[in-house]
A and B are shown apart, each in its own frame.
Chain A
Amino acid sequence: AQKVTQAQTEISVVEKEDVTLDCVYETRDTTYYLFWYKQPPSGELVFLIRRNSFDEQNEISGRYSWNFQKSTSSFNFTITASQVVDSAVYFCALSEPSGGSNYKLTFGKGTLLTVNP
């Protein structure tokens, strides 16, 4: 079963539009961590945010905001007033214990965001 689902494969918007990227996850653990990464065309994954399962406060960082809702197992990412430089693939990821001191980071398949001028 897919543990991290990013249902939107591709999104295309015009500059200055707001856009929300969806992430739904599945876990049986009560303690887990959620991440968002940005992958620009250069390929390197850039860390954006980490959220633990006990902190449901929404977070805002400049034009970026995140909405974490445990009731719906979702961790959505909104970009306000999008810019061309926001064009990238965005990944949501779930970190949960996998036994002993090990853990597993599971990635969604990513959403390709294209912001057109």
Chain B
Amino acid sequence: DGGITQSPKYLFRKEGQNVTLSCEQNLNHDAMYWYRQDPGQGLRLIYYSQIVNDFQKGDIAEGYSVSREKKESFPLTVTSAQKNPTAFYLCASTRQGNSWETQYFGPGTRLLVL
């Protein structure tokens, strides 16, 4: 089955710790995206990548970092600089990153701070 997987489902972070959220897709999509969702809010774009080895900041990139070494994978690191990391994180992908394409989403990772 083609799709997007995210792991872990729940992640706990201690103060000052960096944590990495995994996002993998087997849809052969070029473009991938990371969103943050807070309670009662819509999704806000953190980072996106339209091609391997290239990525761009979204609206709320501060305190986050990404890499795109493989087409299938787009991991997100929440650094200690992100002071309010508790949120639901969603990864998405599109075939080529064009405005008319539908973004398909993974199941999400819920990050909680201890």
Contacts and interface: CB of A to CB of B under 8 A. Distances in A.
Contacts of A105: 45, 103
Contacts, number: 60
Of B45, B103, B107, B110, the most chain A CB neighbours within 10 A belong to B103
B42 A44 contact: no
Given A45-B90, A102-B56, A107-B42, A97 B99 contact: yes
A95 B105 contact: no
A42 B88 CA distance: 11
Q: How large is the interface on B (under 10, 10 to 19, 20 to 34, 35 or more residues)?
A: 20 to 34
Nearest to A37: B105
Of A46, A96, A102, the most chain B CB neighbours within 10 A belong to A102
Given A44-B106, A91-B42, A108-B42, A52 B56 contact: no
Interface string A93-112: 00111000111111111100
Interface residues of A, number: 29
A12 interface: no
A47 B42 contact: no
Contacts of B17: none
Interface string A43-66: 111110010100000000000000
A47 B92 CA distance: 11
A72 B90 CA distance: 31
Given A101-B97, A102-B50, 6 more contacts: A31-B99, A44-B90, A44-B106, A44-B108, A45-B105, A107-B42
Interface of B: 40-45, 50, 56, 88, 90, 92, 97-100, 102-108, 110
6 contacts: A35-B102, A47-B103, A95-B100, A102-B50, A103-B99, A110-B40
